[in-house]
């Protein structure tokens, strides 16, 4: 009976430990990138330099993951200061009114192997829409300090007009469709 009690206690502690698994973005090894077609012939690439995200999951396959992610829109960078300032203006992101954009997950479904579909609510400016990301889970590893890390690549496409980013509404100069790629590394909380 004592062995059974100890087994149940150990199992309960293990389940509680797993249930409390929380991960936070490792900004030194994470990137939030976008790409948009320009003049119908080339692409402009950019990124956001400041962001924060968390994952909470109790299942090893991450199918119960709860993900929250916030981006500081003023940290936008296309390597051209004049263009970056224009993107921060009311023509695009209206950074003074809407300083952040956010994503909150609603489900994480395993497709096969290390491929998932992540669904959630993306808020840009004053609009929140459902969005799906294709996610490749790179797995976990320990860094040189013994910290657990997990890696992901997530991609999606959105129509910027859906989020009231209406500059050049015809899409002739700046395409309507924005490609988003997140290369993220998360560190497990201790």
Predicted TM-score (pTM) of this structure: 0.87
Question: Which tens digits make up the pLDDT trace of 169-182?
Answer: 999 999 999 999 99
pLDDT tier, 20 (very low <50, low <70, confident <90, very high otherwise): low
Question: Which tens digits make up the pLDDT trace of 53-80?
Answer: 999 999 988 899 999 999 999 999 999 9
Nearest to residue 186, comparing CAs of 64, 63, 28? 28
Q: Which residue has the higher pLDDT, 58 or 16?
A: 58
**CB 162 within 8 Å of CB 126:** no
CATH assignment of 22-188, given 3.40.50.1370, 2.60.40.1240, 2.40.128.110, 2.60.200.20? 2.40.128.110
Question: Which tens digits make up the pLDDT trace of 100-123?
Answer: 999 999 999 999 999 999 999 999
Give how far Cα 83 sits from Cα of 60, 150, 178, Å: 43, 34, 16
């Amino acid at each position: 009976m004592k062995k059974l009690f100890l087994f149940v206690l150990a199992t309960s502690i293990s389940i509680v430990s797993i249930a409390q698994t929380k991960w936070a973005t490792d900004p030194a090894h994470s990137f939030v990138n976008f790409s948009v077609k320009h003049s119908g012939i080339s692409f402009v690439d950019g990124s956001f330099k400041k962001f924060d995200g968390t994952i909470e999951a109790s299942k090893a396959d991450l199918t119960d993951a709860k993900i929250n992610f916030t981006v500081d829109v003023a940290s936008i960078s296309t390597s051209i200061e004049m263009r970056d300032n224009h993107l921060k203006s009311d023509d695009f992101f209206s950074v003074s009114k809407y300083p952040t954009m956010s994503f909150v997950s609603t489900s994480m479904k395993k497709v096969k192997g290390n491929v998932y579909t992540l669904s959630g609510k993306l808020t840009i400016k004053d609009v929140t829409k459902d969005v799906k990301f294709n996610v490749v889970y790179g797995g976990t590893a320990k860094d040189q300090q013994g910290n657990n890390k997990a890696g992901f690549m997530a991609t999606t496409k959105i129509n910027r007009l859906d989020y009231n980013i209406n500059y050049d509404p015809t899409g002739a100069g700046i395409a309507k469709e924005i490609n988003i790629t997140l290369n993220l590394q998360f560190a497990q909380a201790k």
